[in-house]
Amino acid sequence: MKRKFQFLSVFCVCALLLCGCGFFDGGAGGASGETSRGDSSGDTDETNETEVRYSLEGNQLIVKCHFEKPEISGAGNGTVSVIIPGLGSTIETTSLPFYTAKLALPQNMTVGRVSVSQGELSSLEWITLKENEYAPAENPPSGNQDMKAGEGGFRAEASVQKFSGVGVAYVRVFPVCYQPGEKTLTYWQDITVTLALEEDPWDLSHLEEEDIEEIRSLVENPEQIDEYIIN
């Protein structure tokens, strides 16, 4: 009888342990399900992170961008705001994310033309973006002529500024577009901007060491400056 009682006790303990494991496993699964609802794409964090790469291929400077998905948040009165972490926002009627790359050009080169290619288009409907209370009536003219490319509301721009004779390309990419009449937000996560380079003799006779260090801290490809031949 005593042995039978011991057997029943062991059996009950094992049963309780199995039930407890099932309960906690179910709780973990529920927490995981809540997290996955925040991102139904199933993409990994590595895929979703914004990443920009640069490469020089012949007379082309190529900028390959992969952007995180836009984040939508309530802004009051039935409107929303949109951001992409790490990107700036335009100051227009509505604010949209944009990315700026500052790239040192190869010596004695300038940008002659800009072209873009986009990956898959995604869209969100029934979106009402919050309008900025104070927005400029028009964009002020820049000191350099912007070269633009893109269609369907998407655009990329490039301009060149000289710093002590060194050419620096400013590349601006606008991966998110908004059509207020249709209340539709469209975006591209993968965008490639190609800068076609042309010859443009530089005068580096006034370039000092402190100028070089300042430019190195400004651009995102300082290794390009190491290729310069400075007399």
pLDDT digits (tens, 9 = 90+) for 7-39: 444 444 344 333 333 333 333 332 222 222 223
For residues 149 and 69, the model is more confident at 69
63-72, 132-141, 159-168, range with the lowest pLDDT:
132-141
Place of tokens 């009165």: 77
Mean pLDDT over the full length of the chain: 77
Residue 184 included in any domain: yes
Please tell me the distance from the alpha carbon of residue 78 to that of residue 131, in angstroms, as a whole number.
Answer: 12
Average pLDDT, integer, range 35-53:
51
Closest by CA to 161, choosing from 173, 169, 149, 171, is 169
Residue 28 included in any domain: no
Residue 82 included in any domain: yes
Which CATH number is 137's domain given? 2.60.40.3800
pLDDT score recorded for residue 90: 87
Tell me how many domains the chain contains.
Answer: 1
Average pLDDT, integer, range 135-153:
53
pTM above 0.85, yes or no: no
pLDDT digits (tens, 9 = 90+) for 179-197: 899 999 999 999 999 999 9
pLDDT digits (tens, 9 = 90+) for 115-127: 999 889 899 999 9
2-11, 19-28, 54-63, 73-82, range with the lowest pLDDT:
19-28
DSSP annotation string for 166-219 = EEEEEEEEE-EEEETTTTEEEEESEEEEEEEEEE-----TT--HHHHHHHHHHS
Residue 80 included in any domain: yes
Percent of the chain whose predicted confidence (pLDDT) is above 70? 71
Residue 157 included in any domain: yes
Q: Which amino acid is at 42?
A: G
pLDDT score recorded for residue 40: 30
**Domain coverage including residue 81:** 48-227
Residue 33 included in any domain: no
Is the pLDDT assigned to residue 109 strictly greater than 90? Answer: yes
150 confidence band (pLDDT: 50, 70, 90) = low
Please tell me the distance from the alpha carbon of residue 109 to that of residue 168, in angstroms, as a whole number.
Answer: 10
Closest by CA to 81, choosing from 94, 92, 68, is 94
Residue 15 included in any domain: no
pLDDT score recorded for residue 230: 84
pLDDT score recorded for residue 102: 96
Residue 19 included in any domain: no
For residues 146 and 4, the model is more confident at 146
Average pLDDT, integer, range 193-205:
95
For residues 93 and 189, the model is more confident at 189
Taking a C-beta distance cutoff of 8 angstroms, is the pair 161, 205 a contact?
A: no
